[in-house]
A and B are shown apart, each in its own frame.
Chain A
Amino acid sequence: MIFTNFKRIIKSGFINFWRNGFLSFSAIVVITVSLTVFGALIFGSAFSRALIKEIKNKVDINVYFTLDAQESDIFALRKTIEALPEVNKVEYISREQALSDFKEKWKDNSLMIQGLEEIGSNPFPAALNIKAKEPSQYAGIATFLDSKGATSQPGLNIVDKVNYNQNKLVIDRLGRIIPAVEKSGTIIAIIFIMVAIIMVFNTVRIIIFTAKDEISVMKLVGASNFYIRAPFVVSGIMYGIFSGIFTLGILGVFAFYSDAMIVKFSGVQGVNDFSLLANVFSSYFIQNLGQIFAIIMGSGIVLGAISSYMAVKRYLRV
């Protein structure tokens, strides 16, 4: 009997879904809109995370050494810096490399190359490029370099300059902006999700309102509450499944289309400078397809089922 009831409930849910075609369609539209909001939020946070990561990557401190500084002294300093807990990575750029980097960068500009040739010798100092784990930690590292550094030891003054102060403004601002962006993003996401949920609940309530006479007839022929309610929940689950499929389609199209847009508007230079932002949406979509599928489908089904379940409740009191 349990199996028979289960079969009847599923069948009845499908029939309701199909025969109330227009109502089912409108439920699917509303749930799809809500799920697309979810999806947009997922993408938005992925995008801002990629952007923040990229910007964090761009921020660094360079320590430039005097032209006569010995490599062994530089390596010694590098070792001390690397030992700091805040430091993520220290990269050594030798004078030769600095020169060849410069040549590579300006190889198409004869004026620059000519200028370089006029100088004759290699004008570039060796440098250490320091990356911290968090933007807020640069201040500490800079202080360390100023106070301790090689500068404090007479005769060993190999540091020419530290460019922290030039970058200080940007670094400080990023340190404040990034947490603020993350926090307000979460708040906006919560508000959007709540609005979306309320919208879905109301739509499903209206749909089930049209079935309230039907529900009271079912009660009067002695059907149990479960037997009346379950087919509506089945229909609700079907709204969720269809909405999920449509939403994934919309998100897929959006991901690939907006990547093309980013390349178009930011230009090749922008894409090169922010390498992570190239194909950020489409690669995120493909890499996390399983997770996105689960979130979108799951929320669609849960939304459809719970809102149907709750909407029927008020008409079961006969």
Chain B
Amino acid sequence: MIYFDKVSKIYPDQSVALDSVSFSIEPNEFVTIVGHSGAGKTTLMKMVIAEDRPTQGAVFFESANIHKLGKGQMNKLRRRIGTVFQDFRLIANKTIYENIAFAMEASGRLDSEIKSDVPHVLELVDLSKKIWNFPHELSGGEKQRVAIARAIVNQPDIIIADEPTGNLDPINTLEIVKILRKIHKLGTTVILTTHDKDIVDEVCGRVITMERGKVIRDDKHGKYVL
């Protein structure tokens, strides 16, 4: 489904974020990418949503080279990928409802669909009561659950979660991981990056370990080894 072909990323200051990384991700996998800070996990995620471009190599989504897509195609691709970030990235001056509705509007969904789907997806992350609140009125864990709700509302093929629990306490972390597993069970591919050992052990799926821009381990049923 996603294929990294010898992808390297060298920043203008000559620091190497990715060094000839190759691997592929199959549909309906739950992949955890682990590594220390600066190992290249976030850069890898940015490549998938074309927020960043590789210096060398290519990233394919199905058969399409992500970085060679036109603007319109790119927008369509992004609507098939749900993204969750460590810093939540909610739109500050929109309510929770509007934040999620915006993602649906962007993919051209009907008003009637938005009206029925938004409350439904908020129920899924247990935030129905906060539907008319603004992001700054929510706790970190709640914000992240909104971000997940936004990521899944368009029923994407893949969820990319880049250190989604980095800013959360252990209880909220567990909650987020539970939700991600639930989404995975419903048939969505999940790519999760983390440096939290407990999460890796909890998920108990495929684990890709990165160090200094390189993939050093790729285990089918991995444990946290670093």
Contacts and interface: CB of A to CB of B under 8 A. Distances in A.
Interface in A173-218: 213-214, 216-218
B91 A224 contact: no
Contacts of A219: 78
Contact of A217 (B76, B89, B107, B110): B89
Given A220-B83, A224-B72, A225-B71, A20 B93 contact: yes
B70 to A, nearest CB: 12
Contact of B93 (A19, A216, A227): A19
Given A16-B93, A214-B91, A222 B107 contact: yes
Contact of A220 (B49, B93, B98): B49
A221 B79 contact: yes
Contacts of B91: 214, 217-218
B111 interface: yes
Contacts of A216: 89
Contacts of A83: none
A12 to B, nearest CB: 8
A222 B78 contact: yes
Contact of A222 (B51, B77, B92, B110): B77
B110 A220 contact: no
B93 A221 contact: no
B223 interface: no
A94 to B, nearest CB: 80
A20 B92 CA distance: 10
Given A8-B105, A218-B102, A223 B75 contact: yes
B72 A221 contact: no
Given A20-B93, A214-B91, 10 more contacts: A15-B94, A213-B89, A217-B89, A219-B78, A221-B79, A221-B150, A223-B102, A224-B72, A225-B71, A318-B51
Interface of B: 49, 51, 71-72, 75-79, 83, 89-94, 98, 102-103, 105-108, 110-111, 150
